Structure 1
Amino acid sequence: METHPRRTVLAAALGAAAAVAAAGTAQAHGGDKERRRFVKRRLKAMSLEQKVGQLFTTYAYGQTADTTAAADVANNQAAHGVDNGVALLEKYQLGGIIYFAWSNNVANPDQITALSNGLQEAATDACGTPLLIATDQEHGLVTRIGPPATQLPGAMALGATHDPEAAREAAVIAGTELRAMGLNQNFAPDADVNVNPANPVIGVRSFGSDAEHVAAFVTAQVEGYQARRDLGSTVKHFPGHGDTEDDSHAELPRIDHTYEEWLQIDAPPFRAAVEAGVDAVMTAHIQFPALDESLRPATLSGPILTGLLREELGYDGVVYTDSLQMEGVREGYGDDRVPVLALQAGVDVLLMPMDIDLAYNAVLAAVAEGELTERRIDESVTRILDLKYRLGLFRDPFADPGEVAEIVGIPEHLEAAQAISDKSTTLIVNDGVLPLVTDGGSVLVTGWGETTLTVLSDQFTQRGWSPTRLVTGIAPTQAQINAAVAATEGQGLIVVATNGVAANPTQTALVKALAATGVPVVALGVRNPYDIAHFTDDVSAYLATYSYAADGLESAVGAILGGRPPQGKLPVDIPRADDPEAVLFAFGHGLSY
């Protein structure tokens, strides 16, 4: 049987990942004369306007490249002044496109594949240069493409396996499916070390709180995503976003680590990624005074992006900004200044400016006025073209629609995802109530998340139990707590899902009220694992799933009922609620039976 070059065999892909790792950075980045000559010729043939276009990646509304749907056209006109993706590419000759659910790009694998091919055709028609088509498919909390694409555990769940090979396998599967749908750049993995349990923007997007642990998992995922050399991975958010208490989407966070602490805590995963030959690095919109006393956001900081990333870590690949629509980078700067300052700092790709026309023309004006040189533009475009060449896009940027059903969401990938999830579920507290020895009974399933509780209830039903489902939400009222207590009448077990207890203390009140009924309470932390610190003595058992994805919830119910003994170990320290400097449960803690 003839096999298309992109058809995947998981074992072979994993073998390719190992080969890339063994070959090292030089092979991962290429370096042959033919590639350099091609890029040089391509650059020389481009106008300044075409080169500036290559510096931008943004979104276009619509399920097709040439959409005529009224809502998509209206949204594109409001955002970009054009009707659709084709018109956007014709006008600005962009270097890249990014997909989101909110921009109506990701309905199903066949649609995504057709959209990718339509955009690539428009880009090659417009300027002869293929697109980098990207999304943020971190999995777990940040997942842009849902089922039937395989849903894999997110970073902290993978970190809880303490098995980098599991992370590598997950990246191979995810990368293979993305490329089958025509994407060639993934904004993953997250290389931040989450040392602050109150971090509102990273949390479970991180592999953990130990720098070397995170570095090992980042290396494995970079190698997995880049195993076949047709999809680029992107580590983020440099120089490290793991110790913030503010969300850079809404404000400008500040990290007060010393330079020595940065070397010890934040830098190791990025250094490991560079050594693994990562294709791209994304910046953080944060202040880091010890690294740049000017207090400019890292995205706009020459000392950070050129001094540390380029010179100290020796990175010469593509540098992306995080979204330029985030307030963390816009605060104090005009939308016409941010792109220019970012390029001066060492950035190559400007992601999602607020106003593409304003940003594009601001860069052109900066060159005309001498604030930026064309040579500086050429440096970034050379890196971008080089990446496109190494990913094989000049040879063939298109996806094969006939392959999608053979690759995306296939049983082998789904089974692997569930097996990895089973390895991540972490039992943190157990007074002996688990595993349950009965074959069935009544169970109250309550707490946060309508979909979460539905999935949990369905899992209990499939195993012969009779669940009562009662949603109390993110901030239960006293009336909702009273209703939950009343619903415990006649129940043999209570399963309560919690999410962000520290910021929503009435969830603690709910757990304590349920515990006071005398019915055994099993709590599930379905996002950050830190919730247990607020009710340690009140529950019979506590499991961390690190996300509310279906596979993780299935693993949790399997652990409760004994069919899938918990295997995970904490990838973070859990501090005491009343003394954040004291460790309640340490990195590596995890019970089983």
Structure 2
Amino acid sequence: MSSSALSRRTVVAGGVAVGMLLAGAGAGLATAAPSVPAPSASSGPGRGWVASTMAHMTLEEKVGQLFVQNVYGKDATTPDARNIPLYGVASPAEVVQKYHLGGVIYFAWTDSVQNPPQIAALSNGLQKASLTQDRKVRIPLQVATDQEQGVVTRIGPPATQFPGSMALGAGRSTADARTAAAITGQELKAMGVNTNFAPDSDVNVNALNPVIGTRSFSSDPSLAASMVGAQVQGYQDDADISSSAKHFPGHGDTATDSHVAFPIITHTRQEWEQVDAPPFKSAIAHGIDMIMTAHLNFPALDDSGDPATLSKPIMTGLLRGELGYKGVIITDSLAMQGVRDLYGDAEVAVRALDAGVDQLLMTPAMDDAYAAVLGAVRSGRISRADLDAKVRRVLELKVRRGLVAHPYVDADALDQVVGTPQHLATADAITDRTTTLVKNDTATLPMAVSGKKVLVTGYGVATTQTLADGLAAEGAATTVKQTGSAPSDTAVAEAVAAAEGKDAVVVTTMKAWDKAVTDPNGGQQNLVKALLATGKPVVVVATRDPYDIAYFADAPTYLATYSYSPVAIQSVARVITGAVRPTGKLPVDIPVAGDPATVLYPFGHGLTY
């Protein structure tokens, strides 16, 4: 399915429906707040610190504030050889000091996130490195991560887990969305993470989107906008950390992953206004601290062929000028292929800043990029006034979020915030309101599993075991046969054999539609069809994208969880057994396989019992 085909179905052929959604489908949802510009520390208590700091900063220090980089290592001062090829120094603290970094970003693959005490200690160590240099200014770091929840979760248990954006869209509750963000933000802040690159603000109108999918709240702009606004409030107003709406101007209608290629969005300007813009407008109206760019080509907004990240018409003309956004603009990772196709890494950094971006995320060529930006300022390609405006926005954000007054966290207080029983219970309750029963033709659900022999098979070692444990807790005798995301013919045959003598089968899928990447031989589709052919009662559970049902449409019983996080899988076990009644409603259309113009299950569909 081409992205343009689904765009036409959603916006043009279905224009009346879209208009109705924009006008009224959000009834019962929180409405966007009136436009509120991002608070400015230059007019509040922090104006003295911002002005004094900028007056004493060197050019090198100012340019350093424009970079947010990943650093390798579980603590600040221990050398890690992986830093040397990137930065020429070994320890995370040395990286921070060498470039006067504005911020760092945490990932599991950099060893930055292992457990809450380690994360808090690393955050404090990096703040100390930033604040104790031999320099006239003392500037705390932005410490960032991508804790969108659901499929993009950097910090796992014991931190409280939620099923992610699309699940919240299925729950339809802006109060739940705000609460989930508030709890996530409070726990991040306790670990010294003061910036969350969330919420995803893309409107996923393309069922074959390989990079957004369940990271989006919905294919409905109104629902997505309401949820985005609620989460901005949760992160910023309730938890007092910075939130970042992404990926501007909208990554929801592409079948290309910008991590590995250069997507093109074929929406018209009117389609952008109707579909892509509302969540970003909602974020701005709720005072969002940061907006992250998208590495994609959007010809209707800029016909130069440049990615949006490097586009002055999009970053300055549209985002700053037309939408009136006054906060910090940050790029998506500059290591992604979507922004590296046309220019070298050093030139990309300069072009992004010249386009209107304030901060550069994860440049893969730090020495070259840092030198190039310094050179661009000295040559006048980037004016001193423009540089100062960018730095001022960054410093104002740091004041606004309390980093200047309170840069360190109390590691001894982690247990009072992170993964508390109250937070975990709230997460369970919210998740129970998101699970969606899409199909129950044979009234297989709810299932009285006590004394029944149940095979749990399909995707995910932890997923299948967690689901089996949930059913066993209700008295089922469970057998687990995990087959992975791309089951071979042998694995399918073994699962079918394991179904013999069982009273019921529960099979989990994960992006079974994606034969391009996840499951090139269609093994998950074959598995489900083979299990259905046994004649046993089969419950299909889509543990990520809800679109899988289109590829085995004769499955009589189908549940969507939108996430394979244990919190979602435990909830679906409660739904299967009837301990919880399903109340989730599809936040997207599910199109017929191979026919994006035909809807198999519409937005808003959902059964209960």
CA drift at 1:369: 2.1
* Unpaired runs of at least 5, structure 1: 1-20
- 1:112-511 to 2 correspondence within 5 Å? 112-126=119-133, 127-228=137-238, 230-431=240-441, 432-503=443-514, 504=519, 505-511=522-528
TM-score, with structure 1 as normaliser? 0.94
| 2:41 and 2:47 in contact (8 A); partners too | no
Q: Distance in 1 between matches of 2:382 and 2:261?
A: 28
Q: Distance in 2 between matches of 1:263 and 1:402?
A: 48
Q: Distance in 2 between matches of 1:497 and 1:106?
A: 28
Is 1:558 aligned to residue 574 of structure 2?
yes
Q: Distance in 2 between matches of 1:434 and 1:228?
A: 39
1:146-198 deviation line (CA, Å, top 9, x unaligned) = 11011112000111001111000000100000001111100000000000000
CA drift at 1:500: 1.4
- Residue in 1 that maps onto 2:4: none
| 2:37 and 2:284 in contact (8 A); partners too | no
| 2:185 and 2:239 in contact (8 A); partners too | no
Q: Distance in 1 between matches of 2:121 and 2:523?
A: 47
Task: Tell me the amino acid that sits aligned with residue 310 of structure 2.
Answer: L
Is 1:518 aligned to residue 535 of structure 2?
yes
| 1:106 and 1:145 in contact (8 A); partners too | yes
1:248-267 deviation line (CA, Å, top 9, x unaligned) = 00011000000000000000
Instruction: Please point out which of 105, 110, 120 is paired with 1:103.
Output: 110
Q: 1:587 to 1:519 in 2, by over 3 A?
A: same
CA drift at 1:39: 1.5
- Residue in 2 that maps onto 1:41: 52
Task: Tell me the amino acid that sits aligned with residue 108 of structure 1.
Answer: N
| 1:440 and 1:463 in contact (8 A); partners too | no
CA drift at 1:269: 0.3
Is 1:590 aligned to residue 606 of structure 2?
yes
* Unpaired runs of at least 5, structure 2: 1-31
Q: Which moved more, 1:201-210 or 1:395-404?
A: 395-404
What secondary structure does 1:475 align onto?
coil
Task: Tell me the amino acid that sits aligned with residue 110 of structure 2.
Answer: S
Task: Tell me the amino acid that sits aligned with residue 258 of structure 1.
Answer: T
Is 1:91 aligned to residue 98 of structure 2?
yes
CA drift at 1:28: 4.5
1:84-127 deviation line (CA, Å, top 9, x unaligned) = 11111221110001101000011110111111111111101124
TM-score, with structure 2 as normaliser? 0.91
CA drift at 1:479: 1.6
Q: Distance in 2 between matches of 1:119 and 1:501?
A: 42
- 1:8-87 to 2 correspondence within 5 Å? 25-26=36-37, 28-29=39-40, 32-68=43-79, 73-87=80-94
Q: Which moved more, 1:577-586 or 1:404-413?
A: 577-586
What secondary structure does 2:526 align onto?
helix
- Residue in 2 that maps onto 1:548: 564
What secondary structure does 1:336 align onto?
helix
Give percent identity, aligned residues only.
53
Task: Tell me the amino acid that sits aligned with residue 526 of structure 1.
Answer: T
| 1:292 and 1:303 in contact (8 A); partners too | yes
CA drift at 1:78: 2.3
Instruction: Please point out which of 528, 537, 544 is paired with 1:527.
Output: 544
Q: Distance in 1 between matches of 2:266 and 2:450?
A: 53
- Residue in 1 that maps onto 2:20: none
- Residue in 2 that maps onto 1:12: none
Q: Distance in 2 between matches of 1:191 and 1:27?
A: 18
Is 1:580 aligned to residue 596 of structure 2?
yes
Task: Tell me the amino acid that sits aligned with residue 336 of structure 1.
Answer: A
What secondary structure does 2:506 align onto?
strand
What secondary structure does 1:25 align onto?
coil
Task: Tell me the amino acid that sits aligned with residue 565 of structure 1.
Answer: R
Q: Distance in 2 between matches of 1:280 and 1:440?
A: 53
| 2:36 and 2:285 in contact (8 A); partners too | yes
Task: Tell me the amino acid that sits aligned with residue 82 of structure 1.
Answer: V
Q: Distance in 2 between matches of 1:474 and 1:394?
A: 46
| 1:170 and 1:224 in contact (8 A); partners too | yes
Task: Tell me the amino acid that sits aligned with residue 259 of structure 1.
Answer: R
Instruction: Please point out which of 568, 576, 581 is paired with 2:584.
Output: 568
Task: Tell me the amino acid that sits aligned with residue 115 of structure 2.
Answer: N
Q: Distance in 2 between matches of 1:349 and 1:288?
A: 21
Q: Which moved more, 1:281-290 or 1:354-363?
A: 354-363
Q: Which moved more, 1:369-378 or 1:412-421?
A: 369-378
CA drift at 1:31: 5.9
Q: Distance in 2 between matches of 1:485 and 1:392?
A: 58
Task: Tell me the amino acid that sits aligned with residue 111 of structure 1.
Answer: Q
| 2:69 and 2:104 in contact (8 A); partners too | yes
CA drift at 1:276: 0.5
What secondary structure does 2:596 align onto?
coil
Task: Tell me the amino acid that sits aligned with residue 531 of structure 2.
Answer: L
Q: Distance in 2 between matches of 1:531 and 1:22?
A: 36
1:499-557 deviation line (CA, Å, top 9, x unaligned) = 112223221121111111110110000000000111121x2310000010001111111
CA drift at 1:401: 1.4
1:308-350 deviation line (CA, Å, top 9, x unaligned) = 1001110010000000000000112101100100000000000
Task: Tell me the amino acid that sits aligned with residue 153 of structure 1.
Answer: P
Q: Distance in 2 between matches of 1:99 and 1:139?
A: 15
CA drift at 1:560: 0.8
What secondary structure does 2:132 align onto?
helix
Q: Distance in 2 between matches of 1:330 and 1:27?
A: 31
CA drift at 1:33: 4.7
CA drift at 1:229: 6.5
- Residue in 2 that maps onto 1:11: none
Q: Distance in 2 between matches of 1:289 and 1:141?
A: 30
CA drift at 1:36: 3.1
- Residue in 2 that maps onto 1:7: none
Task: Tell me the amino acid that sits aligned with residue 100 of structure 1.
Answer: F
What secondary structure does 1:236 align onto?
strand
Task: Tell me the amino acid that sits aligned with residue 592 of structure 2.
Answer: R
Task: Tell me the amino acid that sits aligned with residue 530 of structure 1.
Answer: Y
What secondary structure does 1:234 align onto?
strand
